[in-house]
Structure 1
Amino acid sequence: MPDDARFHDFTDIEGLLRVPRLASVAASPGGRAVAAIQQADEHGARMVSSLWELDPTGEREAQRLTWSAKGESAPRFAPDGALLFSSARPDPTGDADDDAAAIWRLPERGEAHVVASAPGGLTLAGVAADGTLLATTEVLAGGTLEGDAEARAARKHAKRTAIWHTGMPIRHWDHEVSDVSPRLVLVSPEGELRELTPGADTVSLLNASADLSPDGRRVATTWMTRQAGGETRTAIALIDVQPRRRRTLLRATAAHQWSGPRFSPDGDRIAVTRLTASSPSDTSYDFLEIHPIGGGEPVAVDVGDVTIGEYRWLDADRLLVAGDLHSRGAVLLVDARTGRARTLVDDAVYASLAPAGDGSAVLALRSDMATPARPVRLPLQVRGRGGARPVALRAPGEIGALPGRLEWIETDVDGVVVGGWLCTPKAASTAEPAPVMLWIHGGPHGSYNAWSWRWNPWLAVARGYAVLLPDPAMSTGYGHAGLNRGWPRLADVVWRECEALLDRVLRRATLDGERTALLGASFGGYMTNWIAGHSDRFDAIVTHAGLWALDQQHATTDAAALKVRVHGHPDLLPDWYRAYSPHHHASAITTPMLITHGNRDYRVPVSEALRMWWDLVSAWPGAPGTMPHRFLQLTDENHWVLRPSNAVTWNETALAFCDQHVRGGAPVPDALPW
């Protein structure tokens, strides 16, 4: 792509948010490559996905395959080379259900047509060698697949919105639970639907991961059951398609659960993740295992410090694993018989692994701190040192020169090496040192290792800020010891490591330690809230979706069972809550704070922001017009700011608030102009 066709102007926030984004990539048995690419619609109201044909050699430009206002996503290839995808686009035959995603089929030559549809939508989960498909759908609670259309119509016409709860959970991230029952269905090559899980209740297949064996005879799926005390456990169930019969393959216990089953190409084994239960002394750990379907000892995969992201079978003897590693990422090539792994590449974060049909390479999306997700081909026959060299495939959405420099910074904190990325504007000098932002990531199990469209440091760098992005205690990609350091969410441990790295970079004469801001979201928002009551070194603080009153949040989040299991009841641990709940330290806050929160956030309910806002406003001793704190409420957003137009408002407001209090800029207007 010519350089002038790439995006360059990072002062143009809306322009950046309109850059096409690679969402996934798929490879066909015959050597084709297709990507799902998202882009903001005309008004910035939502992201719309379309499918593009990529040249797997990296020589030719990508060609767009699909066009519709509803968009197309989740591409997969059928055994005959036809492209399968999900879309709620209108069906020209009028057979598909309106406004519900259907499974479509696009032959190599010809028009796309609907394979199957259902009132609750269909999401493709697996493809067998004979063309049989596995899909997920939903029916109204207590209903059946056959009667779902009529039941939905009656509910819609009556404007009935009540949900009858009989246990936990009742919410997940941004949507209610218990109004529908997720189900698995088999779709024949002719498009006929067959229910596989008629006995599933509203939580059995909640957020299930499922796979179809290559011969189409079996389905492996997660299966959730409610337990005493508001807990749930997730096992692995095996469903025989003929006759329809379900049994538990891997049982869940109080000590561990399971996720991510994937059949081997011979159908005799599954790769699966075993997740240990978190406790006050230990976080949850992931272990990748390969289990024989017929019984026997599993093979444990040694992934080293990699935090598992995804895995795909390459053939009956080899497994590909991608995940976070040392503030970057890696792809491992695993011997499925022994569990031994070797590193294929470890220079960046790789996702959407799609093995090429001839077994010579794997297609993937590659991203690092300086580059958004881009399609690449990774050769599997590595010669020499340094690992595989990814071959870039051409696709829309390339980024041009960045507005600053990126470098890795480390320091020692109590014998532990703590690192992070430093983004510095090109104009920073000893004569004009740059003001500095410290960003703390969420999770707490997360990492600054890849490009982010939601929190993009280069927007701040383009406006003259240096941005420090640490990977402190509990960050991913540093093995189980790294995940557990600072557990259970000990704010003082994380703050000590972040502050030590900040002090390390502020030794530079090109950075201005007298003009600083602190920003964070989710767990990072909790950290900013806690630090606000323990330090006055910053000129401004921006907190998004942050926890404020832990006694309130732990019982109202959608993950209440986990929070209460780890942190206990406030009456039983009053000292811990007094030390680590930010609201206990509200009276010590002197730094101007910008609170931002989405009303539909169920992971950190908006009640956290409402209570924090009341505590700050009601305690302000001066005239109302002199209060420096502000609250940006995003009424239709959830834990993330996903709508492009709202993302523009969020970025402009956060930067303007920092400009005002860090650089002495104009006050943010009472009525936002963006």
Structure 2
Amino acid sequence: MTAPVSVFHDLSHYVAVPRVSGLAMSPDGSRLVTTVATLNRKGTGYASALWEVDPAGESPAHRLTRSTRGESGAAFAANGDLYFTSSRPDPEGEEDEPRTALWLIPARGGEARVVLSRPGGVASVHCARAADRVVVTAGLLPGATDETQHAALAKARKEGGVDAILHSRYPIRYWDHDLGPERPHVFAVERGAMQTATAEEDDQREDEAGPPLPGTVDRAPELRLRLLTGDLPAPLHEPAPVVSPDGTFALLSVPVPMARADQRSALVRVDLSSGKRHTLIDRDGTEVSPGPVSPDGRRAVVVLDRVTSPTDPPHPQLFLVDTESGATTPLAHDWDRWASPVAWTPDGSAVLALADSDGRRPVFRVDVVSGEVTQVTDDDAAWSDLVVAPDGRTAYGVRSSYLFPPEVVRLDLASGEVTVLPGPVERPRVPGRLKEVETTAADGSRVRGWLALPEDPAPGGHPLLLWIHGGPLGSWNAWTWRWNPWLMVAQGYAVLLPDPALSTGYGQEFVQRGWGAWGDAPFTDLMAITDAVVAREDVDEERTAAMGGSFGGYMANWVAGHTDRFRAVVTHASLWALDGFGPTTDAAYYWQREMTAEMGEAHSPHRFVEDIRTPVLVIHGDKDYRVPIGEGLRLWYELLSRSGLPAAEDGSTVHRFLYFPQENHWILAPQHARVWYAVVNAFLAEHVLGKEPDALPQELGLVAPEGPATP
């Protein structure tokens, strides 16, 4: 697959670029498998497939799976078998409706086959590296204690045509989907007797395909599930068990109910043979996330964070935990970064971790005895999905930057040398250049970002788009398909991607500067770096716009109410009235920790609607549960009824509202992504460039198709 050179000049080509994500390595280090998502035939979604990449870099990548439903969640078993999940039809099954089943490709090769199918499907699969042990996560209806009861309840619900959910706990939804009626659980996968065929089935198979070869077995062992998390004090949420290398136990973060619909987390150890659990870490005011288990199984590296408050932002730190006693030892607490531990070195001497740092996300090595931290990679990139080869000298990962989308690479852990492996997708050529920019804020803090510029100069400089990232605890450091600056650079804009206060990768104090005060340092940081960039000769100070989504949308709203310097503002999935947002977001308990009512009132953009004199494009999806649609609806009404640019007497307005009934916090459907960018381009062309609005997609129903009318 090759991506066209002009993908950023044509939205149809852009959404069709294949997208790489994830990486799994076989226990012996001889195989790497990644996932590639490609546009479906109708152009209305993506289907993913598993691809194998040669770790030696000598052979081209080749495709392992193919179906219209797609495959994901690749995991290697200790014997080299490859598990994955897919809702594609089982050629030997009789299900009326597709369900996400557990599939297997044998290590020796051959066709993929279903090894486990159940009502509600299978969410994820996790394998021990050095033992025959597999666990899965899957949903279980609350009235069931085993698979038989679950199947019966699922059947009754389906046949009754009921989709109602009776809740007794909080939360009840997440991002874009309801929680329940099934509750996530962790199961051990057990093998039963070899499946046997009836004589009639054997005769039919022989008639169709001929007799089996001597010495071959045509049936997989029967698999069954054993519940491991049946009596927890609160339901799990997106469980991610960490299985020990020898397969004897798993570490799991579990919710601990708190007063007033709040919760935190604890760490438990689950014996995978007996199902017995015991708590390793359970501390008031503390959140726990398990990391990888050491090769000998005696220790694990975990992340402990404090439960936040209006004055205390997150402060995640690494610890070593004894997997028997739960005793913890601080690890690298002098390191002022928020690290995510990903793997141990095979000799158990160090842990590899990833952390946002200065607009990148490098690989770090943390010595478990001294706590010394060494940066392994120094490229301008963000790393993910890091796996370590058995020899301990090499690692593999997925990396990206604003110059290239995710790709599979090999890393020499001693030298830091990076080699791009022959992958399923070639890099698209970006239509410009990338510069690093920075300035000093009024309080002396350094504020930096990326500036994407067209290749050729423009008379008077390029118009500028200030893009503000979401989070707000994040950083502009990795390729994004949703907020891609090169699509706008291809239109002639310079795009500024700054990391203001609250951004990660600049130390704890940089986050503290903006905590609970979103309209203060984050706003002044953005204005300071914008001032520095518009002072460049290749940027036009008079033609600028501000854009953002989620927290970036909040900040775009705040910008609109606090300055007239921009000709247009684009606000996507944005927070508008914080008193309404707080109780209706999908994790209201977290929001209640972040700001007091007084803080929320002081920093709520809706209070400054009368000061908005800039045209605003509002964009929102109805299925957005993180920033509910009520925020967009109220923003739209108050823009038209109370802003400095209200609707005219005939109801027309310079503002615009792009509404997606079926999209969530992100615009995921490719046809809707094309509409999103087309509308944004037209809005900016009109207000920033002073041009006639670009033609809008016919699918919006606003433009008549070319040619004679059909009678």
State TM-score, norm by structure 2. Answer: 0.89
Residue 196 of structure 2 aligns with which residue?
Answer: none
In structure 1, how many angstroms separate the alpha carbons of the residues matched to 2:374 and 2:22?
25
- Which residues of structure 1 form unaligned runs of 5+? 383-387
Establish whether residue 275 from structure 1 lines up as the match of residue 305 from structure 2.
yes
Q: Secondary structure at the match of 1:222?
A: strand
SS of equivalent to 1:10: helix
Name the counterpart of 1:416: 445
Which residue matches 1:66?
Answer: 65
Which position in structure 1 is the counterpart of 2:143? Answer: 142
2:24 to 23, 26, 37: 26
Whether contact under 8 Å (1:299, 1:336) holds in the other structure is no
Shift of 1:124: 0.4
1:363-405 residue CA offsets vs partner (Å, 9 max, x unmatched) = 10011111111100001222xxxxx121101113323432111
SS at 1:617 equivalent: helix
**Shift of residue 550, structure 1, vs aligned partner:** 0.4
Answer yes or no: is the 8 Å Cα contact 1:601–1:639 preserved in 2. Answer: yes
Shift of 1:618: 2.6
Alpha-carbon distance, 1:243 to partner: 2.7
CA drift of 1:310 comes to 4.7
2:376 is paired with a residue whose SS is strand
Is contact 1:52–1:65 with CA below 8 Å preserved after alignment?
A: yes
Does the 8 Å CA contact 1:221/1:261 hold for their aligned counterparts? no
Q: CA deviation at 1:261?
A: 3.8
Q: CA deviation at 1:250?
A: 0.7
Deviation by residue 1:609-648 (Cα, 9 ceiling, x = unmatched): 0111111123325234641111111111111111111111
How far did 1:194 drift? 1.1
SS of the residue 1:561 aligns to? helix
Counterpart of 1:129 in structure 2 is: 130
Q: Deviations over 1:527-549 (max 9, x none)?
A: 01111111111111100011001
SS of 1:594 mapped into structure 2: strand
State whether structure 2 residue 522 is matched by structure 1 residue 494: yes
Shift of 1:5: 5.5
Cα distance 1:104–1:357, how it changes in 2: closer, same or farther (>3 A)? farther
Partner residue, 1:385:
none
Please state how far the C-alpha of 1:81 moved relative to its aligned partner.
Answer: 1.7
- 1:329–1:346: 8 Å Cα contact kept in structure 2? no
Alignment of 1:109-258 (within 5 A): 109-122=109-122, 123-127=124-128, 129-144=130-145, 145-189=147-191, 190=221, 191-200=223-232, 203-253=234-284, 255-258=285-288
Which sits farther off after the overlay, 664-673 or 56-65? 664-673
Does the residue aligned with 1:229 lie in a helix, a strand or coil? Answer: coil
Tell me how far 1:204 sits from its aligned partner: 2.6
Distance 1:118 1:164 in 2: 23
**Contact residue 6 and residue 397 of structure 1 kept, 8 A:** no
Distance 1:586 1:350, change over 3 A: same
What is the identity, as a one-letter code, of the residue corresponding to 1:136? Answer: T
* Residues 305 and 480 in structure 1, CA contact (< 8 A), matched pair in contact too: yes
Report the CA distance between 1:353 and its aligned residue. 0.9
Q: Secondary structure at the match of 1:147?
A: helix
Bigger relative CO (Cα 8 Å, ≥ 6 apart): 1
Q: Secondary structure at the match of 1:533?
A: helix
* Alignment partners' CA distance in 2, 1:451 and 1:428: 24
| Alignment pair present for 1:650 and 2:652 | no
Is the 2:77–2:134 Cα contact (8 Å) retained in structure 1?
no
Alignment of 1:351-362 (within 5 A): 351-362=384-395
Equivalent residue of 1:528, what SS? helix
Choose from 376, 385, 409 the match for 1:376. Answer: 409
Q: Residue 399 and residue 74 in structure 1: after superposition, are their counterparts in 2 closer, same or farther (change >3 A)?
A: same
Equivalence for 1:618? 641
Deviations 1:220-262 (A, max 9, x none): 1111132111111210111223432222111041x21111343
Contact 2:397 2:409 in 1 (8 A): yes
Give 1:299 shift.
4.0
**Following TM superposition, by how much is the alpha carbon of 1:152 offset from its aligned partner in structure 2, in angstroms?**
1.5
Aligned to 1:265: 295
Distance change >3 Å, CA 121–CA 317, structure 1 → 2: farther
Counterpart code for 1:141: P
Report the equivalent of 2:507: 479
Cα distance in 2 for partners of 1:323, 1:219 equals 24
Alignment of 1:471-620 (within 5 A): 471-569=499-597, 573=598, 576-619=599-642, 620=646
Aligned-partner Cα distance in 2 for 1:256–1:154: 41
Distance 1:167 1:639 in 2: 24
User: Aligned partner of 2:185: which letter?
Assistant: R
Cα distance change, pair 511–261 in 1 and its aligned pair in 2 (3 A): closer
- CA drift at 1:449: 0.7
Q: Match for 2:115: what amino acid?
A: V
Output the CA distance in 2 between the equivalents of 1:121 and 1:303: 44
Q: Please report the RMSD computed on the Cα atoms of aligned residues, expressed in angstroms.
A: 2.0
| Inter-partner Cα distance in structure 2 for 1:377 and 1:96 | 42
Could you say which residue in structure 1 is the equivalent of 2:342?
Answer: 311
How much has 1:596 moved relative to structure 2? Answer: 0.6
Query: Counterpart amino acid of 2:143?
Result: G
The whole-number CA distance in structure 2 between the counterparts of 1:361 and 1:137 is 34
Amino acid at match of 1:121: G
For the 8 Å contact 1:269–1:293, the answer to whether it is kept is yes
SS of residue paired to 1:585: helix
Q: Distance in 2 between matches of 1:97 and 1:187?
A: 25
Identity %: 40
Q: What does residue 208 of structure 2 align with?
A: none
Equivalent pairs counted in the alignment come to 659
Q: Is 1:329–2:358 an aligned residue pair?
A: no
The residue number in structure 2 matching 1:39 is 38
* Contact residue 364 and residue 376 of structure 1 kept, 8 A: yes
Does structure 1 retain, via aligned residues, the 8 Å contact 2:302–2:341?
Answer: no
| Cα displacement (A) at 1:200 | 3.8
Q: Report the 3-state secondary structure (helix = DSSP H, G, I; strand = E; otherwise coil) of the residue aligned with 2:679.
A: helix
Say which SS state the counterpart of residue 362 (structure 2) adopts. Answer: strand
Q: Residue type matched to 2:456 in 1?
A: A
Q: Which moved more, 1:368-377 or 1:258-267?
A: 258-267
CA contact (8 A) 1:252 1:258 kept: no
1:244–1:57 Cα change, 3 Å: closer
Report SS of the residue matched to 1:337: coil
* Whole-Å separation in 2 of the counterparts to 1:312 and 1:117: 31
User: How far has the Cα of 1:100 moved from its partner?
Assistant: 2.3
Provide the residue aligned with 1:427 in structure 2.
456
Tell me, in whole angstroms, the C-alpha distance in 2 between the residues paired with 1:672 and 1:20: 31
- Flag the structure with larger Rg: 2
- Separation in 2, partners of 1:175, 1:615: 28
Rounded to whole Å, the distance in 1 between the matches of 2:449 and 2:159 is 54
Moved more, 189-198 or 220-229: 189-198
Native 8 Å contact 2:501 2:514 kept in 1: yes
Q: What is the alpha-carbon distance in structure 1 between the residues aligned to residue 244 and residue 95 of structure 2? A: 27
Do 1:131 and 1:188's aligned partners in 2 also have CA atoms closer than 8 Å? no
Q: CA deviation at 1:130?
A: 3.0
1:337 positional shift: 3.4
2:376 is aligned with 1:344: yes
What is the CA distance between 1:292 and its match in structure 2?
0.7
- Matched-pair contact (CA < 8 Å) for 1:321–1:331: yes
Query: What is residue 13 of structure 2 aligned with on the other side?
Result: 15
Counterpart amino acid of 2:26?
A: S
Shift of 1:6: 4.9
Change (3 A) 1:81 1:612: same
Cα distance change of structure 1 residues 97 and 286 upon mapping to structure 2, 3 Å threshold: farther
Q: 1:94 to 1:628 in 2, by over 3 A?
A: same
| TM-score after normalising by structure 1 | 0.94
**More displaced, 395-404 or 47-56?**
395-404
Give the Cα separation in 1 of the matches to 2:625 and 2:455.
Answer: 40
Aligned to 2:666: 640
What letter is aligned with 2:671? Answer: S
Q: CA deviation at 1:33?
A: 1.4
Q: In the alignment, which residue of structure 2 is the partner of 1:91?
A: 90
Q: CA deviation at 1:14?
A: 2.1
Contact 1:275–1:285 (CA under 8 A) maintained in structure 2: yes
